[in-house]
A and B are shown apart, each in its own frame.
Chain A
Amino acid sequence: MIRVILPHHLRTLAQVSAEVELSVEGAATQRSVLDALEARYPMLLGTIRDQSTQQRRAFLRIFACQEDLSHDSVDVPLPAAVARGDEPLMIVGAIAGG
């Protein structure tokens, strides 16, 4: 299972309280994990990536294993520790705003 940690406002929107666990078909990549996340929680459609362009929203980043994966290709396999479920994939909102 892939573990995903959502930012506060998306946990509220999806009505989940902690980590989300997802089973992903095939290789675990940013794209496949987000596909699985949105399929299970359709209210998150459009909140992490644009529904038409699939571009990540500008004020969000993707972290895992102490690395910023935001600028990696969305089709690159995620770190093995994430694929095994040892480490979570973190979707992080920029620290900004009032």
Chain B
Amino acid sequence: MSKARVLVGTRKGAFVLTSDGRRKQWNVSGPHFAGWEIYHVAGSPADPNRLYASQSSGWFGQVIQRSDDGGKSWAPVGNKFDYDGVPGTHQWYDGTPHPWEFKRVWHLEPSRSDPDTVYAGVEDAALFRSADGGQNWEELSGLRKHGSGPRWQPGAGGMCLHTIILDPGNPSRIYIAISAAGAFRTDDGGKSWRPINRGLTSQYIPDPTAEVGHCVHKIAMHPSRPDVLFMQKHWDVMRSDDAGDEWREVSGNLPTDFGFVIDVHAHEPETIFVVPIKSDSEHYPLDGKLRVYRSRSGGNEWEALTKGLPQENCYVNVLRDAMAVDSFDECGVYFGTTGGQVYGSADGGDSWEAIVHDLPAVLSVEVQTLS
């Protein structure tokens, strides 16, 4: 019997939501790590019972938890994230040099082939890798030591490395994104990196088409087409057909192209989802209506999906890691809100139901499709 397992990170703990393949009745487990901020929970594609969770706190710092039984039990693993060498400085909000300081892990990306290998995207922006199930972490410092590093600046949420995409066909290729440095790609397994921001235009930086400095909010890729990337930038929804070498805007008829999440349908590589947010000054949906927008043409033409979503007085946000898709025949789509709802659609976005209503503010949503 196939099963969906939704992994939810919130401001006050983690929750695991499970259902059968119909995705109508859900069992809710949690809070795990009650009272801690859980920025991300992710499962290994190579062993779905292997989960990793980023647990953090302003008081007690960073903890990484690991489960080997699908989230029934957890154990802390290594939490020593030391930058390689002398970290140097990046730019602070006011443009002055500021030392690189580890704050937390935003995103965990398990290897597609090895349950013990997992990548961590951290604030202040850097990429770490563990090859022993999270016990020890080593920085892939070629990224932070890219010549543009001293010019990187934090976005309002901190200088976070929030997106890690592993190319399924090419283990040497990894994409990452940083707020507010932009997107980068390695083609040699993380030794060297180059910015892939050509085509992005950001009016909030002195040179709107600069090599770095763009506030990329999230990037998504369909595994069957690893050269095609979709990006929700601070403003603008973007697309690249050449592994990020060039981007073009595909915001099209969206009512606002500010937002955080973006994801791709599991079986239709040209079908993408975003949740437009009013503006960077007002982090809630336009007109108080929570609407997912779907494009079946890889962007530009978008349709509003509203069935089952609140269409009045809704002023939540949907944060950058809070959308996921499952891989059932009828693709499921999930997203969480800062109001504590996790919405799910079992029909590719046509209709939605709140799986849970009243969790703490949702930071991240992932889903596993279990056979």
Are A and B genuine complex partners? yes
Question: Please, how many angstroms separate the alpha-carbon atoms of A59 and B80 in the complex?
Answer: 19
- Could you say which residues of chain A place their CB within 8 Å of the CB of B79? 45-46, 51
Considering the complex, give the chain B residue whose CB is closest to the CB of A50: B61
Considering the complex, give the chain B residue whose CB is closest to the CB of A49: B61
A13 & B76 in contact (Cβ 8 Å cutoff) = yes
Tell me, rounded to whole Å, the shortest Cβ–Cβ distance linking A95 to chain B.
Answer: 10
A97 at the interface (CB under 8 A from B): yes
A17 at the interface (CB under 8 A from B): no
A7 & B34 in contact (Cβ 8 Å cutoff) = no
A27 at the interface (CB under 8 A from B): no
B59 & A45 in contact (Cβ 8 Å cutoff) = no
Contact A47 B60, CB 8 Å, known A9-B36, A12-B34: yes
Task: Please encode chain A, from 5 to 39, with 1 for each CB lying within 8 Å of some chain B CB and 0 for all others.
Answer: 00111101100000000000000000000000000
- For A9, give its contact among B60, B76, B80, B82 (CB under 8 Å): B60
B80 & A51 in contact (Cβ 8 Å cutoff) = yes
A47 & B58 in contact (Cβ 8 Å cutoff) = no
Tell me, rounded to whole Å, the shortest Cβ–Cβ distance linking B35 to chain A.
Answer: 6
- Could you say which residues of chain B place their CB within 8 Å of the CB of A59? 58-59
- For B59, give its contact among A7, A43, A50 (CB under 8 Å): A7
A13 & B80 in contact (Cβ 8 Å cutoff) = no
B369 at the interface (CB under 8 A from A): no
Most A-side CB within 10 Å, residue of B58, B59, B61, B79: B59
B57 at the interface (CB under 8 A from A): yes
- Could you say which residues of chain A place their CB within 8 Å of the CB of B35? 8-9
Tell me, rounded to whole Å, the shortest Cβ–Cβ distance linking B327 to chain A.
Answer: 34
B17 at the interface (CB under 8 A from A): no
B63 at the interface (CB under 8 A from A): yes
CB contact list, B59-110 vs A, under 8 A: 59-63, 76, 79-80, 82
- For B57, give its contact among A9, A50, A51 (CB under 8 Å): A9
- Could you say which residues of chain A place their CB within 8 Å of the CB of B63? 13, 43, 46-47
B59 & A46 in contact (Cβ 8 Å cutoff) = no
Considering the complex, give the chain A residue whose CB is closest to the CB of B78: A45
8 contacts between A and B (CB under 8 A): A10-B60, A13-B63, A46-B79, A46-B80, A47-B60, A51-B80, A57-B60, A96-B58
Instruction: Give 5 new A-B contacts, CB below 8 A, not counting A9-B59, A46-B61, A52-B80.
Output: A9-B57, A9-B60, A57-B60, A60-B59, A94-B59
